[in-house]
């Protein structure tokens, strides 16, 4: 997956999550359609990388 594709996926998933919060009846249905195994793996990887980079940046200060 290219970086630009990953950014687009992340922004799309974030928008779907926000939609699920604002309008639960339609947002959750849309969120279920979007969530696939690759999206879950990419999101989990991004969260782990962000956590790791955050810890690393705090250590170097």
Give a three-class secondary structure readout of the chain: CCHHHHHHHHHHHHHHHHHHHHCHHHHHHHHHHHCCHHHHHHHHHHHHHHHHHHHHHHHCC
This prediction has a pTM of 0.44
Say what the pLDDT of residue 39 is: 79
Percent of the chain with pLDDT over 90: 0
Say what the pLDDT of residue 28 is: 67
Question: pLDDT band at residue 4, thresholds of 50, 70 and 90?
Answer: confident
pLDDT value at 5 more than 60: yes
């Amino acid at each position: 997956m290219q970086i630009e594709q990953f950014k687009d996926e992340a922004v799309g998933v974030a928008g779907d999550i926000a939609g699920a919060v604002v309008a639960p009846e339609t947002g959750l249905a849309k969120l279920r359609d979007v969530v696939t195994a690759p999206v879950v793996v990419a999101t989990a990887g991004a969260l782990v990388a962000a956590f790791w980079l955050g810890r690393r940046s705090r250590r170097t200060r």
